Amino acid sequence: MTLGKSFASLGNYVAQYQNQGGFAKPSKYEIIITPPSLQSFRNMSIGQVPSRLNDLGGLSETIRQTSLSCESISFPGRNIDTTPDTNIYGPVREIATGFSYAEVSATFRCSKDMREKRYFESWQRLAYDTVTWTMSYYEDYIGAVQIFQLDEEDNKVYGVELVEAFPKTIGAQTLDYSATDQIHKLTVGFSYRWWKNISDEPKINEPVEEVSTTTPARVTDELTERTRVQRLDTLQR
C-alpha cells in the first residue's frame, strides 16, 4: 500500500524557484542604523563625543558609512515562551505564556580612522554621564536598526526593524604584529525591545516617537485625524 504520489520531483522544485527569480542569498542585504537623534549627539559635551566626528565628514556621513561597512549580521529570531497545560487528559500540550528575543550581533569593517568604533562608543555614552556617572533616560539613547533582504536587482524584498535598539556590547579588538594582511573588524551586540516585519507590521506597537524609522507617517496620520476631529466638533457646536 502506498500513500500516493510525491508532491513534486527535485527538478520541478528547482524549476519553480528559478521561475520565481531564484533563491534568496545571504550575501544580498542592506542595513540602516538610525541613532537616537542627531541632536542628541550634538548636545553631548566635548568630553563625551569625539570632535573628530566632524573631521570625518560629519555625523551623518559617519552614520551612512557605518551602515555600509557592516560585513555580517543576522535576521533576529523570536521565541514563543510556553508552559505545559496540565488541565487536560492525554498527551500534554504547550500553551503560550509570552515571547522573548535574543540580541543581534553585527560585524563591521573599520576604516583607517576607526570612525565606526568612535561612532558606537559615542552612542553608548548617550546612556550615561561621564562626569557624574548617572544614567540617562531610556529615550535618550535608543534608536532603530533596519535589516533588509535584497534580490538580484538590489530590490528590498523583506525587512525587519529592531525597535528601541542600542549598542549594548562593543567587542574587544585584538592587536597582533603578525596580522599584516588583515583588517580590523568590530563586533557590536544590539539590544532591543522587540522586532517587527516592516511590511506586515508597519505601525504595530510603535515605539517612542523620536526613534522609530516608521514614525513620521504615523505622526502625520495622527495630526490629520486630530485636525479632522476638531473640525467635526466645531461644526457640531
- In CATH terms, the fold of domain 12-205 is Pnp Oxidase; Chain A (2.30.110)
Q: Do the beta carbons of residue 32 and residue 73 sit within 8 Å?
A: no
Name the DSSP letter for residue 35: -
Distance CA(198)–CA(207), nearest Å, equals: 14
What confidence category does residue 44 fall into, taking pLDDT thresholds of 50, 70 and 90?
low
Q: Do the beta carbons of residue 139 and residue 211 sit within 8 Å?
A: yes
Q: Which of 126, 139, 140, 148 is nearest to 33 (CA)?
A: 148
Of the two residues 56 and 15, the one the predictor is more confident about is 15
Distance CA(113)–CA(67), nearest Å, equals: 16
pTM score, two decimals? 0.74
Q: What pLDDT shows up at residue 7? A: 63
Give me the residue spans of the domains in the chain. 12-205
For residue range 180-190, list pLDDT tens digits in order. Answer: 999 999 999 99
How does DSSP assign 195-235, residue by residue?
EEETTT-TTTT---TTT-TTHHHHHHHHHHHHHHHHHHHHH
Q: What pLDDT shows up at residue 215? A: 41
Of the two residues 223 and 85, the one the predictor is more confident about is 85
Q: What pLDDT shows up at residue 195? A: 95
Q: Do the beta carbons of residue 69 and residue 108 sit within 8 Å?
A: yes
For residue range 205-222, list pLDDT tens digits in order. Answer: 555 444 444 444 443 344
| Mean pLDDT value of segment 27-47 | 73
Distance CA(61)–CA(114), nearest Å, equals: 14
Q: 224 pLDDT exceeds 50?
A: no
Q: What pLDDT shows up at residue 110? A: 96
Distance CA(87)–CA(210), nearest Å, equals: 46
